[in-house]
Amino acid sequence: MKNKVNVIIIISVLFTGSLFAENLLVNPSFENQTPAFWTGYNAMLNNELLWEQTEVYGGFYSFKVTKSGATNNAVGWISDNNADLYWNNAAAATYSLSAYVKTVGVNTSPANDDAKIGVIFEFKNAAGAELTTQTIWADQSSASVDWAQIQGVAILTEEPASVVVKAIMGKDATGTVYFDNIGCGSDPWSMGLFNGNAETIKGWLNWYGSGNGSYGTVTDNEAHSGSYASELFKPDTTSSTSEIVYYSIPQPVEAGEWYKIGVWVKTADVNDSSAFEPTYILRERLDERIALCYFFHTGDIATEWSVAGGDKFVYIDQRDPATGWTHYVVAEQAPDDATGISVRARFTSNPTGTAWFDNFSAMKMVVATPTITVSVDDGNESYHFPTDFELSHNYPNPFNPVTTIEFAVPHDEWINLTIYNLLGQKVNTLINGVHSQGRYQITWNAQNEFGQPVSSGVYIYTLITKDTRITKKMLLVR
Ligand SMILES: [Ca+2]
Ligand SMILES: [Ca+2]
């Protein structure tokens, strides 16, 4: 049992309510192919609005709007309110407004605003009253204009409570337009526009230094489930030391509860070493390694970005340059001040090659059986889940009258642990139910299922699952 080193934690995790615990993460398998922080604005037809991958100013995606004729309303994309989102705290200041726009076959010489294409920046106060609205218009002097930046300024004398951006075609505008790198930032900095570059998928954020061709994005090149996965890539050079991080938006957790965090990872052509084994939860930043990383957040997870306890890394298997889809799962107790959790696919500074991350999970673990205790025997708050069913020898043995049995469950499954006498008669059933992946400890007090003491002798105990049966003996000496 290779992983049973100094981090044996004996826990009970029975699901209550439903058979499977709820995954807290939004879009954990990247199959919802809509952009983060933006939604459709008055889109009437399927082909009016697309999250585009073929025409981009930068990165892999842009916001596309296409119309063959007049519509009832302006059509386009609208941002979430960015004023206080996460680390933003929009101040009274002068804001630089900008966007890159490319047009293909649009109407020219618009007679009025309804025939125009542009980006509208709306600033409102807490009462919903307009502070200022500024629009930057696309160049419609020709039907088709290649990528060009349009710019404007908004002067705020009052702190805005709402900053919303619309990238639209007026109701009478026609043709196709692409928007990318939409920006709205103040000097000094107090806010930025989330996903103005269209690069992140619903539920996620990303960051990468693209200088040497590195990237983190979502592709359909590989997937553990569905068609899409988060793909992180860095060329085979360490000349750039920038990180690649694809990270989830935080979701609420309950302080003091245990959470199970997991992801499936596949690698190709990555830097490898026989020393690069998969790890437990580490706080050290290892610059050559690829990791599942996560944070517990504190404070208001919608309007703050406060992370408790620093980075938590679970380094993946880099003993070979390519490793097939592998599940990495760990668990940790949320700190007393925890309010949220977020997860990350992460290249630290220097790993190279490609890694795909799919099916992230963050699930609450529910302790539901009082006969099984939760304990941490060495103060270490992390451990690895088992990969096989295991049934330990009881201890002490011989015993009188209490003995302890440990067992391990590699994945969420129904299990039964029953004690028999040497005649094969059932004496007591200790466990019968669905258990989550984990290590467990249960004690037997040498009583049958009616609470009566049993006599000295040899007893058999058997762990049964759908496909497994493990049997061991123990000796009661009264
Ligand atoms: Ca997927
Ligand atoms: Ca882009």
Residue 176: is its pLDDT beyond 50? Answer: yes
Q: List pLDDT tens digits, range 409-436.
A: 888 777 889 999 999 999 998 887 777 7
**Where exactly are the structural domains of the chain?**
22-26+204-365, 38-187, 375-476
Distance from residue 62's CA to the centre of ligand 2 (Å): 5
Tokens, residue 63 = 């916001």
Tokens, residue 173 = 């505008």
Q: List pLDDT tens digits, range 240-294.
A: 668 999 999 999 999 988 888 999 999 999 999 999 998 888 889 999 999 999 9
Spatial separation of the C-alpha atoms in residues 163 and 161, rounded to whole Å: 7
Mean pLDDT over all residues of the chain? 88
Distance from residue 219's CA to the centre of ligand 1 (Å): 9
Percentage of residues in the chain having pLDDT higher than 70: 90
DSSP assignments along 332-383, one per residue: EEPPTT--EEEEEEEE-SS--EEEEEEEEEEEEE----TTS--EESSS---E
pLDDT class of 211 with cuts at 50, 70, 90: confident
Distance from residue 60's CA to the centre of ligand 2 (Å): 5
The CATH number of 38-187 is: 2.60.120.260
**CATH assignment of 375-476, among 1.25.40.10, 3.60.9.10, 3.40.50.720, 2.60.40.1930:** 2.60.40.1930
Res 380: pLDDT: 42
Contact 340, 296 (CB under 8 A): yes
Q: How many CB atoms lie within 10 A of CB 142?
A: 11
| Residue carrying structure tokens 């004496």 | 427
Q: List pLDDT tens digits, range 371-390.
A: 333 333 343 444 456 788 99
* Domains 22-26+204-365 and 375-476 in one fold: no
Distance from residue 180's CA to the centre of ligand 2 (Å): 5
Res 46: pLDDT: 56
Tokens, residue 370 = 């009082």
Q: List pLDDT tens digits, range 294-340.
A: 999 999 999 999 987 778 899 999 999 999 999 888 888 899 999 99
The answer to whether the bond into 188 is cis (omega within 30° of 0) is yes
| Distance (Å) of CA 245 to CA 131, 234, 270 | 36, 12, 16
CATH fold of the domain at 22-26+204-365 = Jelly Rolls (2.60.120)
Distance from residue 49's CA to the centre of ligand 1 (Å): 23
pTM of the complete model: 0.76
Nearest ligand by distance to the CA of 198: 2
Res 327: pLDDT: 87
Residues less than 5 Å from ion ligand 2, measured at CB:
56, 58-59, 180, 197-198
Burial pattern 353-390, b for ≥16 Cβ within 10 A else e, equals bbbbbbbbbbbbbbeebeebeeeeeeeebbbbbbeebb
Distance from residue 63's CA to the centre of ligand 2 (Å): 8
Q: List pLDDT tens digits, range 58-79.
A: 999 999 999 999 999 999 999 9
Spatial separation of the C-alpha atoms in residues 154 and 111, rounded to whole Å: 25
Distance from residue 359's CA to the centre of ligand 1 (Å): 6
Cα-based angle 71, 72, 77 (whole degrees, multiple of 5)? 70
Distance from residue 53's CA to the centre of ligand 2 (Å): 8
